[in-house]
Structure 1
Amino acid sequence: MTTIPELFDLTGRAAIVTGGASGLGQYYAQALIGAGADVFVVSRSEKGWQELRQFAAQHGRQVVFMTQDLTAEQAAINVITEFKKHFESLDILINNAGVQIRNDIVSYRDEDWQKVIDINLNALYYLSHEAAKVMITQKSGKIINIGSMQSFRAGKYIYPYAASKHAVVGLTKAYADALAPYGIQVNALAPGYIDTDMTKALQADETRNTEILNHIPAEHWAQPSELMGTIVYLASSASNYVIGATIPVDGGYLLR
């Protein structure tokens, strides 16, 4: 009988994490490494590489980095091709890379709409598509998409972000349905309001900070580490019968 620790053990598995060296992506990568996985990080710059390299060394795991603009032509093929040079199997894909651009409805620029859709949705689709081809031949794999509170709610001032994150949930369900017969599970994680560098300005806005906290039953902004358990769960054998789900990790935000 499989033990509980064995269910969550990622030893011997290899993962791709986009945007995995900084922000929340760094915590997702660290969570996988801590559970025993080797990680292939794709990012546009080398920000955070050294810190993650040191973390992997401390845990005796391998981390490989690739600089790639995921919106570039053939980016997904390039990523999978490079990944295969280092690892035999593709066990986990975390589609984390994303961007948000704010503006009012009249002033919102077409080019900003396209930029957000290209990285948040199109890049996610193309990489999932290439990864699925590999996972189908293996008859195993995990694809984890990163949604948002805006996967469920309106996103005033962030129109393409809201549209893309709603679409991520829809694509998660469609891919989950198509890939389940091959032993592949596709799910999504939807972070709530997380204490990161990107949210410092919002937290400093006393009015908005109060509004947000009044909306969270847990009564605090999450620390990034509070997402790590859920990402390991979705990447591990513990979630093998979880298919097409989007799991909010939001302190209860969506309840109010």
Structure 2
Amino acid sequence: MKVMVIGGASGIGRALALHYLAQGAQLAVCSRRLAGPGHDWLTLHPQVRSYGFDIADRVALTAAIRHFGIGGLDVLIVTAGQYADAAALAAQPDAGIGIVQANVLGLAQAFDTAATLMREQGHGQLVAVASIAGLLEEYPGGSLYSTSKRAAIGICDAYRKALRPFGIAVTTIVPGYVDTARLRELNGGDAGSKPFLQSEAAAVRRMVGAIGRRDAHCIFPWQLELLARLFNLLPASLKRLRRK
């Protein structure tokens, strides 16, 4: 099996890549950051290819997928993305463009390129890791990150319908808080205060199970999904009170 993970050098992407490596897959790991501590494993396994690029770089992204896809590509997993809160966007408005380019345009281009290969070979699966934040409907003061992840879920839905006649599956993974190094970094080194926090190992088990079954959606934990659905029912005046 040939698996490509875009955003696979750290966090959830790295955990998924290591899982498929342990399963004996031919693996491609793509990331903006492929050097430094913690990345030695990329050079220790002959079945691992690494590609260094930003998902927003359309030319490099397309070239990497086509190169690794020579001879076939079974699963493409996109975990790459960018995040910035309201304060960061106020201080650096250009960061908003980066979020859209990575979380929306980059995902669409990756899916489109891989879908072309998979249609030619007659099988395959596209996977995107979005966020529970993407379940929130638009509301006054809603975050750009939530909007971008809602768009990512919509991209998955559109490609799923378009590719169904060709036998190509599209799996949308919508996790809540997962205890990764990146989440801890964003929270002063400790993400323990996040509600319904999932361990990385538990999250990976859910994700690979959904991918293996070729599920359309994998949303967890159910508690955060329920809270998101309930939040969508609130009047706009109350939604404005939500802290980013």
Q: Secondary structure at the match of 2:85?
A: coil
Aligned pairs for 1:105-124 (under 5 A) are 107=90, 109-124=92-107
Q: Which residue of 2 aligns with 1:252?
A: 223
Residues 102 and 14 (structure 1), Cα distance of their counterparts in 2 relative to 1, 3 Å cut: same
SS of the residue corresponding to residue 39 of structure 1 reads: strand
Partner of 1:42: 30
Q: 1:181 aligns with which of 159, 165, 169?
A: 165
- 1:74 and 1:142 mapped to 2: Cα distance? 22
* Greater RCO structure (CA 8 Å; 6+ sep): 1
TM-score (norm 1): 0.77
Distance between the aligned counterparts of 1:251 and 1:126, measured in 2?
A: 30
Aligned to 1:190: 174
Match of 2:235 in 1: none
Deviations 1:7-27 (A, max 9, x none): xxxxxx101101101111100
Amino acid corresponding to residue 112 of structure 1 in structure 2: A
Q: Go from structure 1 to structure 2 and tell me whether the alpha carbon gap of 1:251 and 1:62 turns closer, same or farther (over 3 Å shift).
A: farther
The residue that corresponds to 1:28 in the other structure is 16
Selected match of 2:201 from 225, 228, 239:
225
Partner amino acid for 1:183? G
Aligned CA distance change for structure 1 residues 71 and 204 (closer, same or farther; 3 Å): closer
CA distance in 1, matches of 2:141, 2:34: 30
1:53-79 CA distances to partner (integer Å, 9 max, x unpaired)?
Answer: 44xx4xxx7111011122124133211
Other structure's SS at 1:145 match = strand
- On the 8 A contact 1:70/1:119 being kept in 2, the answer is yes
Equivalent residue letter for 2:147? A
- Runs (4+) off by over 4 Å: 154-158, 201-206
Unaligned runs of 5+ in 2: 228-244
Q: Is the 8 A contact 1:49 1:65 kept in 2?
A: no
TM alignment of 1:148-227, pairs within 5 A: 148-153=131-136, 159-200=143-184, 210=193, 212-213=194-195, 216=196, 221-227=197-203
1:62 matched residue in structure 2: 47
The number of residue pairs the alignment matches comes to 224
Q: Which residue of 2 aligns with 1:51?
A: 41
CA RMSD of aligned residues (A): 2.8
SS in 2 for 1:142: strand
SS of 1:94 mapped into structure 2: strand
- TM-score, L = length of structure 2: 0.81
Deviation at 1:228, TM superposition (A): 1.8
Report how far residue 184 of structure 1 moved: 0.3
Counterparts in 2 of 1:250 and 1:134: CA distance versus 1, 3 Å: same
The answer as to whether partners of 1:102 and 1:158 remain within 8 angstroms in 2 is no
| Structure 2 SS opposite 1:74 | helix
